[in-house]
Homo-oligomer: A and B are copies of this chain.
Amino acid sequence: MDSMTLIALVSIVMAGLTTGFGTMGPALAEGRAVGAAMTSLAQQPDASATITRTLFVGLAMIESTAIYCFVVSMILLFANPFWNTAIAQAAGQ
């Protein structure tokens, strides 16, 4: 097993794990936030403007953590600095 293969293997594994598990937390949190939003809307329909605005800001904040995970996965798959170094090394040999 040469170095490039190893780096490729580990990058594939971490790309999957980071997205697969890292989106679990945000998904559950968004479910909670959306659920609370609808309960609040049912309780106080007059405040729907404020509640909806707060919900969207909150969902954006939570989604940001899911996006961190997706970004790290994409970096690992398509802009992996260690892989690039390994390619460069292999080309230079």
* A contact set with B: CB distance below 8 Å: 1-48, 50-52, 54-59, 61-66, 68-70, 72-73, 75-78, 80-83, 85-87
Contact = CB atoms under 8 A, between A and B. Distances in A.
Contacts of A10: 9, 12-13
Which secondary structure dominates chain A's binding surface?
A: helix
Contacts of A75: 77
Nearest to A75: B77
Contacts of A28: 25, 27-29, 31-32
A2 to B, nearest CB: 7
20 contacts: A7-B8, A12-B76, A12-B82, A22-B23, A23-B26, A25-B26, A28-B29, A30-B31, A31-B33, A34-B55, A34-B62, A36-B36, A36-B38, A38-B55, A39-B40, A41-B47, A44-B45, A61-B63, A68-B70, A78-B81
